[in-house]
Structure 1
């Protein structure tokens, strides 16, 4: 009954308690670390930092140095030295006149010109309108050479050939290189180096003629027929018929036929290159590159 009457009273039990002895040394479980200390209550984070300063930790904190600054991007480049392993800060401007910006812009423009030239040539061959747009196939190489130098024009030509090699195969890529790519590179190089128009037209005519002969030889190899011999035989038959119609009893020799064939080829290529010079000079002048061109007086006055 006494137990039932005291059921509302709290029961007290005596537990064994070992008081804390502050004079005893704190055990060190691991060397070079902070010794254990008695638990204390902290009011805020500032008290925590005051109790455990960072200087007590054995590990030295490394200072953080960002690779690039968002606010000041003109001074960002870090360069690692091979010998000492140090990190130095190099000042490099990332503005419109910087070397990094110019290299990036040159790469983008060369890729753009190469893609435009390759797709234009591919679509012209697919739609059988190559003869109407053949005068524009060399223009991307010329403008790339005029803007960024001879090396950029060469890279544009090679990139265009690689694109055509992927899209159409080696025959179309070789045809573009022989008939348009080398001519555009030669014209852009001569204009970049400020050669006169007479020298430029003469050299580009020779390059165009050699490319045309190479194209004929390539076609002869592919179809297993000597197209060059067929051309010279047809020229020989035509001249013999003309001489007979005129009452001239003479048969031209094959050497004369070769001379006539070469002269006609050079004349054809010369007219084509001359028209390309005039067309590209007008286009480049409209694009703002007139000061980079060495135009003749009559054309400069006309433009």
Structure 2
């Protein structure tokens, strides 16, 4: 079983560095880490090229222009590019415990996807973590919410793992899927842009396809770094897409991962194999800088 980790990021290289350090320190390493980037400034690319020099596994950077929040498209590109047969979806502000990959591997079952959890950190604790390294907080640490998610008790994890179709609490910040299952339902729905509901809509189509959800509790631990979050807005167009998926019992979305498979028919470059300094990457950096500049008359 070859595991790919798809980390989505946008303009927070300090958090991303902590996430990648934690993945590099796993007791069981993944096959690859794919950083799928929704239009970050060049600082993210610079970080990745620096980390790649000594990174222990294949490290890939997929960048798309900043054209609003297009998380579904970014994640689909990672699914298409993945070389593993099992894919862990992770947000770029989720710092994982050293047994995270091993726990996901032990938990994976065919016919199911894994829904992980997260412990929340406040602003002060997040600043501390950013300055001290990737260790996740313990049970008694100040600045922690959802404290129960700091406990790793894998022998008890099976008590929470009964397969089901519960839609509440679906979050793509910590999920595990067999790649073939994601391809079967055509990945994330790219008609859904902006904030929210794309992960629930994906799970609903997975249920329609016959997959079941298993909750990964007391293992697969991760700490979410604090940042301001958007509140749900009544009338969000993504709500209407989700309800249409439920009503029509859709399995595949129309605009999904399938449109990216040809692009990644050949595996994307491993940044560790790139021995040239940053100044030899003008095309990538010019594209990134150009997308960030306002148009001029």
TM-score higher than 0.5: no
* TM-score band w.r.t. shorter chain: under 0.3
Instruction: Between the two structures, name the one with larger relative contact order (CA 8 Å, sep ≥ 6).
Output: 2
Q: Quick check: which has more Rg, 1 or 2?
A: 1
